[in-house]
Amino acid sequence: MQNVFKQQLITLRRRKQLSQTALARKLYVSRQSISKWENGDAEPGIDKLVALAEIFGVTLDFLILDTEKPTDVILKIRNLKKAFTTPVLRGINLNLYGRERIALLGSNGAGKSTLAKIIYGKLKPDSGQIESFISNKDDLRVMPQENILIEDLKLAEHVQLTARLNKVYSPAFVTQMIKKFKLDKQSATSVSKLSGGQKRKLALLLSLLKPSKLLILDEPTVGMDLDAIDFFWNYLDHVSGSVLTITHDFNQIDQYFSRVLLLKNGKIAQDVSIDKIHSHNQTIEQWYRHFNATEAQ
């Protein structure tokens, strides 16, 4: 394993634009440990291998042996259209695959939330087809732009209720998740009295109680303070399924996503890998500002 693994580790770390120190911080190990792994002087334990695979969004086989099964399609969208008073989506064609990290970008009013709502079943399209290879009930989780919370419940009660509904409840698990999200001091606080940032963290927690094959996040960091935003991006490294994120937060997304979609004029105007963007010495923000302006002309 050693020779293949150390090269994979170097390649994937650089692709993610992570320094050894930044990767060590995500794994709660020393920078020297990362250096030893990359030099072939030591090997990580299975728990760290699993964490590395999650951070890089790859399988263990790919990380250790440089072999990968063909990526499975989880969703096919064909010629999807939706209008309200005017057309919003004018023919969306798109495939989503397993273990992807996708940023869905576009100007305000471009139809990003509309597309997301159609994918998770809150809205019906006027025409077109969605072919899903996952179960919306069992495999799909959503953090919508608007917090959908029961204001009368206490925070811990809300987590307990959602865990029971998702059939993942245990007292220890609920306590662990609340502590992991640094909301333990608010456990007995009524949801109605939480700050805006605390409500967003709670909404994220609820969406992550049960593992999913597709997680949809609509403007997840809006209302969060800087510490909460840092926590959010670091935590999402450990989500094993695909993640489709609508965001205008360009501060950290270069390290997180593998693919970027630009929704413009009702269609997917650009669909490109992060590697390609970075190969042109661009950040995602620079790429977005260039192509969003170009597509508008």
pLDDT for 45: 92
Yes or no: domain 1-65 corresponds to CATH 2.60.40.290: no
Prediction pTM value: 0.80
> Are the C-beta atoms of 178 and 184 separated by less than 8 Å?
yes
Q: Which two tokens stand for residue 278?
A: 């970075």
Distance in angstroms (rounded) separating the CA atoms of residues 201 and 177: 11
Sequential pLDDT tens for the chain (297 residues): 556 888 889 888 877 778 899 899 999 999 999 999 988 889 999 999 999 988 887 778 888 876 655 458 999 999 999 999 999 999 999 999 888 899 999 999 999 999 999 999 999 999 999 999 999 999 999 999 999 999 999 999 999 999 999 999 999 999 999 999 999 999 999 999 999 999 999 999 999 999 999 999 999 998 888 888 888 888 887 787 899 999 988 877 887 888 999 999 999 999 998 888 988 889 999 999 999 986 544
Q: Say how far apart CA 163 and CA 179 lie, in whole Å.
A: 15
Was domain 73-293 assigned CATH 3.40.1080.10?
no
Q: Quote the tokens at residue 246.
A: 């609508």
**Fold agreement (1-65, 73-293):** no
Q: Where are the domains of the chain?
A: 1-65, 73-293
pLDDT number for residue 70: 47
Check residue 263 and give its pLDDT: 97
Q: What is the pLDDT of residue 256?
A: 84
